[in-house]
């Protein structure tokens, strides 16, 4: 849904009784003060990610979610996974999705209702909190264009970024090697990757290795 806002414990109520935020995740809500229509009003939160370069049959997403109020479903590409959340905002509910993925862009939706149907209308806190991870095997039949590495300095760190799945970042102290695997990097969309390294110590060289045989 459009117009979501982050809500943290620094703002006080409804955190607690909502689970307190952490360095990993925070609540999101349709309103800056979290107060929206109740009386069973449905809300949908959506995110998307790309499986380009991966085999969608091997994809898997797992995590946990908390809601205010009841989470009614998690959907992958508009298809129900049949996973609700009755624990609501005081505890986590775990979920796993291992079917329904498509080549290219995929849409993940979290559906919840705020309040109880029949309640008088008025401002009522509502929000969603999700922590999740995903994985998929590379599709080695797909041709790839070698990506470029972009290196920037941020304070005392070096950020190395590139676009394209299926590459391992390698490092060496000499341009002639030996080269060692460093990291696959992190990504929030499956296509743009980055790794952060310290700017101190010996000089290092970096390159990308395609992981398919």
103-132 CB burial, b ≥16 within 10 A, e <16? eeebebbbbbbbbeeeeeeeebbbbbbbeb
Longest dimension (CA), the chain: 72
pTM of the model: 0.76
Phi-psi region for residue 96, left (φ > 0), alpha (ψ -120 to 50) or beta? beta
Last residue of a domain, one of 75, 103, 135: 135
Nearest to 131 by CA among 65, 70, 60, 74: 65
pLDDT in the model for residue 122 = 58
> Residue 55 belongs to what domain range?
5-135
pLDDT in the model for residue 207 = 94
Residue 100 counted as domain residue: yes
Residue 34 counted as domain residue: yes
Which of these ranges, 11-15, 43-47, 131-135, 157-161, has the smallest mean pLDDT? 11-15
Residue 141 counted as domain residue: no
Please report which confidence band the pLDDT of residue 118 belongs to, taking 50, 70 and 90 as the band edges. low
Same domain for 130 and 155? no
Last residue of a domain, one of 110, 135, 160: 135
Same domain for 62 and 85? yes
**Under 8 Å between Cβ of 150 and 161:** yes
Residue 140 counted as domain residue: no
Same domain for 65 and 165? no
pLDDT at 23 over 70: yes
Average pLDDT over the chain, rounded to an integer: 89
Summarised one tens digit per residue, pLDDT across range 148-177 is 899 998 888 999 999 988 899 999 999 999
E-assigned strand segments in 92-189: 93-97, 105-114, 123-125, 127-135, 150-154, 157-163, 167-172, 180-183
Summarised one tens digit per residue, pLDDT across range 43-76 is 999 999 999 888 999 999 999 999 998 999 999 9
pLDDT at 121 over 60: no
pLDDT at 6 over 70: yes
Same domain for 10 and 94? yes
State the DSSP code for 89: T
**Under 8 Å between Cβ of 166 and 144:** yes
What is the number of domains present in the chain?
Answer: 2
Looking at per-residue pLDDT, the higher value among 213 and 197 belongs to 197
Residue 117 counted as domain residue: yes
Summarised one tens digit per residue, pLDDT across range 78-92 is 999 999 998 899 999
Residue 101 counted as domain residue: yes
Please report which confidence band the pLDDT of residue 178 belongs to, taking 50, 70 and 90 as the band edges. very high
Same domain for 108 and 186? no
Same domain for 85 and 13? yes
The CATH number of whichever domain residue 21 belongs to comes to: 2.60.120
């Amino acid at each position: 849904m459009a117009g979501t806002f982050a809500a943290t414990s620094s703002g006080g109520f409804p955190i607690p009784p909502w689970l307190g935020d952490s360095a990993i995740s925070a609540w999101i809500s349709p309103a800056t003060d979290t107060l929206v229509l109740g009386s069973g009003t449905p809300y949908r939160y959506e995110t998307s990610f790309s499986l380009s370069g991966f085999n969608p049959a091997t994809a898997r997403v797992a995590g946990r979610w908390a809601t205010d109020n009841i989470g009614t479903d998690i959907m992958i590409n508009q298809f129900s996974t049949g996973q609700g959340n009755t624990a609501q905002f005081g505890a986590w509910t775990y979920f796993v999705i291992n079917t329904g993925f498509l080549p290219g862009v995929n849409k993940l939706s979290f559906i919840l209702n705020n309040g109880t149907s029949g309640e008088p209308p008025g401002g009522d806190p509502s929000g969603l909190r999700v922590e999740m991870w995903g994985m998929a095997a590379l599709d080695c039949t797909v041709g790839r264009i070698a990506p470029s590495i972009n290196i920037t300095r941020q304070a005392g760190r070096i950020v190395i970024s590139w676009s394209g799945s299926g590459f391992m970042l390698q490092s060496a102290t000499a341009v002639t090697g030996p080269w060692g695997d460093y990291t696959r990097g992190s990504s929030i969309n499956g296509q743009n990757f980055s790794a952060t390294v310290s700017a101190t110590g010996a000089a290092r060289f970096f390159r990308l290795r395609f992981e398919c045989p």
